[in-house]
Structures are given as structure tokens and as C-alpha cells.
């Protein structure tokens, strides 16, 4: 009598087995307790399926645990929860800040009990960036606490803040720390985003080569904005020192130092250019004054000896 035992589906589906061992499991017949035993191929193994289910279960639990740790971790971003702080940020980002419209949006979020608050805020044209949404939810949470709203409303706002901090925490902190130099450099919201994107790129790769690449991109095609880009980029990166935002803190400190030296050299070069312009202008003025004096000298000699005048004969 022959007994049939379900074998693995395929050799490549059996992790940890060599090709030869897997092939022998599929194709060789043997004897067990005096009876002929044949391993069939092509059918799923009950034990293999169970192992697969257990592996997937543990993987799902591990991923859920990691996700929960990301969401509930304490936020590291600065807390700016007043209406003045939100409008000040929007103004520095060169966006129109309407306090009445801001209050209206806050009231709408709270009236709905913060249900679908993230979708509601993302649909607003003035709050497309995570940093702006983070500040808005902070303001809404403070307002809900002041008004004594139910705990579930505050929990929904906390969940929205936790999600933003989990997925955009570093970017939010970078934007808040660098908004002032970004505002000094930029003239439009797009330039603010470009500047802060350059800062984030240097923080991710804190080398002088990367800093120079971003600096040249900010300086403009003809380099007309080099001085402003250099000074503000140095200030922005300096503001991020000691915050843990840089991939390597020591490298970032070295980059900021090198940018300071470069800024000093650029200041000296600008002073030399101004000095050259002053000297050239003074030279032109001296040449013009000299030409004027020579012209007046010729006129005076002609007056002393008018045409047709005769010299007295010498005796």
C-alpha cells in the first residue's frame, strides 16, 4: 500500500532550503514503517500554510506596534497656539492672513466636534502645508480646552496633531525654526518653500558640496541674490544646530562655519567692488575738472592777446 504525503508547492516557495534538498523532498519516494511513501508535488502543505499564516500574523502585529509607537510618541515641534502666532507665520510665509477667516475655520472644526478635521483643513486653500495645519490644530485644541468641550473632541484634535507630527514632525520643526530667514530671503510663497526645501536638503546631507549646490540655486541665474541667500541660509542652518534635525550634527556645524567664512569673504569682495567704483568715479571727476581748468586757461590767454592786437615796436 502506498501512502501519499502533501509536499511543498515549489522549491522556491520553501524558504531556508537549498535547491537540492527541496528537489529531493518533492521527487523522492521512500519507506516509512515498512510501507512505501511518496511525496506528491504541486499541492499546498497544511503545515506550510499554517506557518505562513502565523508569520503574517506576527508581521501584522509588529507593523501595528511600530505604527502605534510613531503616532503616540510625544511631539518635538514647538508649540505656537495663539492666533497671533498663526497669522504671524502666514505673514512671514508671504501668505494673506485673514484673522476673521481663521476664526471662522476654527469654529467650524469645533462645531463638528473635530470630525473629519484633517480633511476639512486640507481642503482649505490657505492651509495646504503640514506646518500650517499643525499650527491650526494647535490653536483649535487650545480653544476647545478653553471652552470646556467634551474629551472626545480634544482627543480627536490630539490625534490629528499626533499624525502630523509622526509623518511631518521634522519638516514642521524645520519650517518653524527657519521661517524668519526664509521670509527675509523670499518674496513669494513659492520662494519660501524653495528656501526651506534647500535647508531640509542640507540637513539631510550636511556637506559643503550640498550647501553650495543649494546656495547656487537660491542665488539666481546671474548670482544677483547670492549675498542674501548666503546670509539667510547660514542663519537657517544655525537655527537648526542642536535640534537633532541634521543627519550628522558635527558636519552641520562645520558647514555653518564654512558658510560664515564664505560670507565674510563675500562681504570683503563687495567692499572692494564699492571702493573700485568710488575710485573710478573720482577719477572721472578729476579728469573732468582738469579739462575744465585747461579750457579756462586757454580762454584767459586769448583774452590777454586779442586777435589783431599789435605789439609795440621795440626801441
Check pLDDT > 60 for residue 177. Answer: yes
d(CA 280, CA 18): 83
Q: How confident is the model at residue 238 (pLDDT cuts 50, 70, 90)?
A: very high
Q: CA-CA distances (angstroms) from residue 19 to 16, 25, 42, 74?
A: 10, 10, 16, 49
pTM to 2 decimals?
Answer: 0.62
The residue among 185, 240, 245, 243 whose CA lies nearest residue 215 is 185
**Which residues are within 8 A (CB) of 164 and not within 5 positions of it... i.e. 6 or more apart?**
130, 133, 134, 137, 172
CA atoms within 13 A on the CB side of 61: 6
Check pLDDT > 70 for residue 204. Answer: yes
Check pLDDT > 90 for residue 315. Answer: no
Q: How confident is the model at residue 197 (pLDDT cuts 50, 70, 90)?
A: very high
pLDDT tens-place string over residues 7-26: 444 444 444 444 444 444 44
Q: What is the DSSP string of 233-266?
A: HHHHHHHTTTTT-SS-HHHHHHHHHHHHHHHHHH
Maximum average pLDDT range among 20-34, 39-53, 275-289: 275-289
Average confidence (pLDDT) over 182-191: 93
Q: How confident is the model at residue 239 (pLDDT cuts 50, 70, 90)?
A: very high
Check pLDDT > 70 for residue 116. Answer: yes
Average confidence (pLDDT) over 98-122: 85
The residue among 118, 103, 108 whose CA lies nearest residue 156 is 118
pLDDT tens-place string over residues 147-175: 899 999 999 999 999 999 999 999 999 99
Average confidence (pLDDT) over 60-82: 47
Residue-level pLDDT at 191 = 94
**Helix 249-304 vs helix 226-239: angle between axes, to the nearest 10 degrees?**
150
Average confidence (pLDDT) over 256-279: 89
Residue-level pLDDT at 194 = 95
Average confidence (pLDDT) over 270-274: 87
Q: What is the DSSP string of the chain?
A: -EEEEE--S-GGGSTT--HHHHHHHHH-EEEETTEEEEEESSS--HHHHHHHHHHHHHHHHHHHHHHHHHHHSPP-S----SHHHHHHHHHHTT----HHHHHHHHHHHHHTTTTTHHHHHHTSTT--SHHHHHHHHHHHHHHHHHHT--HHHHHHHHHHHHHHHHHHHHHHHHHHHHHHHHHHH-SSHHHHHHHHHHHHHHHHS--HHHHHHHHHHHH-TTSTTHHHHHHHHHHHHHHTTTTT-SS-HHHHHHHHHHHHHHHHHHHHHHHHHHHHHHHHHHHHHHHHHHHHHHHHHHHHHHHHS-TT--PPPP-
Amino acid at each position: 500500500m502506498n501512502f501519499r504525503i502533501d509536499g511543498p508547492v515549489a522549491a522556491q516557495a520553501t524558504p531556508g532550503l537549498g535547491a537540492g534538498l527541496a528537489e529531493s523532498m518533492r521527487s523522492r519516494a521512500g519507506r516509512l514503517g515498512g510501507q512505501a511513501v511518496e511525496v506528491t508535488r504541486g499541492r499546498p502543505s497544511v503545515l506550510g500554510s499554517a506557518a505562513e499564516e502565523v508569520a503574517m500574523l506576527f508581521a501584522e502585529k509588529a507593523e501595528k506596534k511600530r505604527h502605534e509607537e510613531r503616532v503616540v510618541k510625544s511631539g518635538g515641534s514647538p508649540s505656537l497656539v495663539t492666533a497671533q502666532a498663526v497669522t504671524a507665520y502666514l505673514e512671514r510665509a508671504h501668505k494673506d492672513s485673514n484673522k476673521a477667516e481663521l476664526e471662522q475655520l476654527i469654529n467650524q472644526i469645533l462645531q463638528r466636534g473635530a470630525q473629519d478635521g484633517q480633511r476639512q483643513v486640507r481642503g482649505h486653500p490657505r492651509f495646504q502645508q503640514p506646518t500650517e495645519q499643525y499650527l491650526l490644530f494647535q490653536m483649535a485644541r487650545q480653544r476647545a480646552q478653553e471652552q470646556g468641550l467634551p474629551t472626545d473632541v480634544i482627543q480627536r484634535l490630539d490625534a490629528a496633531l499626533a499624525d502630523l507630527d509622526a509623518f511631518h514632525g521634522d519638516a514642521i520643526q524645520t519650517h518653524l525654526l527657519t521661517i524668519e530667514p526664509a521670509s527675509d530671503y523670499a518674496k513669494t510663497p513659492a520662494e519660501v518653500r524653495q528656501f526651506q526645501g534647500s535647508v531640509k536638503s542640507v540637513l539631510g546631507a550636511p556637506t559643503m558640496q550640498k550647501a553650495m549646490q543649494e546656495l547656487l540655486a537660491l542665488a539666481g541665474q546671474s548670482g544677483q541674490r547670492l549675498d542674501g541667500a548666503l546670509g539667510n541660509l547660514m542663519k537657517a542652518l544655525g537655527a537648526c544646530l542642536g535640534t537633532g534635525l541634521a543627519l550628522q550634527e558635527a558636519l552641520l556645524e562645520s558647514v555653518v562655519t564654512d558658510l560664515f567664512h564664505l560670507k565674510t569673504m563675500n562681504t570683503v569682495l563687495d567692499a572692494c567692488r564699492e571702493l573700485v567704483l568710488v575710485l573710478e568715479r573720482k577719477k572721472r571727476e578729476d579728469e573732468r575738472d582738469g579739462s575744465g581748468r585747461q579750457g579756462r586757461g586757454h580762454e584767459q590767454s586769448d583774452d590777454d592777446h586779442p586777435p589783431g592786437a599789435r605789439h609795440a615796436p621795440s626801441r
